[in-house]
């Protein structure tokens, strides 16, 4: 999907521009604050994405909102870049993708772990240690709950999915039987 690739590129670009953990936290918080406002205020969202509002007026609106919110220079430049390229609608995805981009910048591999019920701390630790041994790099787990996962779990690393659920095994068996 084109938007997913754009979201990832913007998140990676922002992560690369950030110097350290303190700046990552600060800029991330400023962008999330703007996103909350952008999502909650229909009038603001409409003004910033409308094709009927000229670019100079949009920039003035964005500058005013950022000044009132006390947005720092890096977050301001990033939001202005999104506005200039008419990509503000990608901001929710960029905010979601930023932690993974930040981790990747520091050599940490992110796995999304989907299970029917929350994993216990010990289970998460064992899974993380096994994946770290396999990857030979630090691993960050992002847990998601999906009641549709019947037994076991599914792991996603980027676009690769490792399905160790009962549902996944049944689907694989069905596919194998259908090929005969």
Does the pLDDT of residue 173 top 60, yes or no? yes
| pLDDT, position 165 | 72
The whole-angstrom separation of Cα 65 and Cα 48 is 11
Does the pLDDT of residue 170 top 90, yes or no? no
Would you place residue 2 in the very low, low, confident or very high pLDDT band (cuts 50, 70, 90)?
Answer: low
Domain 2-103 -> CATH class: mainly alpha
pLDDT tens profile 51-75: 999 999 999 999 999 999 999 999 9
Nearest to 47 by CA among 157, 56, 102: 56
| pLDDT, position 1 | 46
Task: Please report the beta strands in 13-138, taking only residues with DSSP state E, as ranges in sequence order.
Answer: 109-115
Would you place residue 18 in the very low, low, confident or very high pLDDT band (cuts 50, 70, 90)?
Answer: very high
| Domain locations along the chain | 2-103, 108-178
Q: What is the CATH number of domain 108-178?
A: 3.40.30
- The overall average pLDDT reported for the chain is 89
Q: How many CB atoms lie within 10 A of CB 52?
A: 7
Backbone angles phi, psi at 160, to 5 degrees: -95, 130
Q: How many CB atoms lie within 10 A of CB 112?
A: 16
| 37 vs 175, residue with greater confidence | 37
- Provide the whole-model pTM: 0.72
CB 139 within 8 A of CB 108: yes
| pLDDT, position 160 | 83
Does the pLDDT of residue 95 top 90, yes or no? yes
Would you place residue 92 in the very low, low, confident or very high pLDDT band (cuts 50, 70, 90)?
Answer: very high
Does the pLDDT of residue 180 top 80, yes or no? no
Residue whose pair of structure tokens reads 């406002």 in the numeric block? 37
| pLDDT, position 20 | 93
pLDDT tens profile 122-134: 999 998 999 899 8
SS3 labels along 87-115: CHHHHHHHHHHHHHHHHHHCCCEEEEEEE
Mean pLDDT of 12-21: 94
């Amino acid at each position: 999907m084109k938007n997913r690739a754009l979201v990832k590129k913007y998140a990676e670009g922002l992560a690369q521009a950030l110097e350290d953990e303190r700046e990552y936290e600060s800029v991330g918080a400023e962008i999330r604050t703007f996103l909350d406002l952008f999502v909650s205020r229909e009038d603001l969202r409409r003004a910033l994405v409308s094709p009927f509002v000229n670019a100079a007026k949009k920039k003035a609106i964005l500058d005013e909102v950022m000044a009132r919110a006390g947005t720092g220079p890096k977050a301001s430049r990033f939001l202005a870049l999104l506005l200039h390229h008419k990509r503000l609608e990608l901001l929710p995805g960029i905010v979601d993708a930023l932690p993974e981009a930040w981790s990747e910048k520091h050599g940490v591999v992110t796995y999304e772990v989907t299970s029917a019920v929350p994993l216990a701390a010990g289970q998460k630790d064992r899974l993380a240690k096994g994946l770290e041994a396999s990857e030979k790099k630090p691993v960050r787990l992002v847990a998601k709950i999906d009641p549709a996962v019947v037994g076991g779990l599914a792991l996603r690393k980027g676009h690769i999915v490792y399905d160790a659920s009962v549902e996944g095994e049944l689907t694989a068996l069905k596919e194998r039987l259908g090929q005969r």
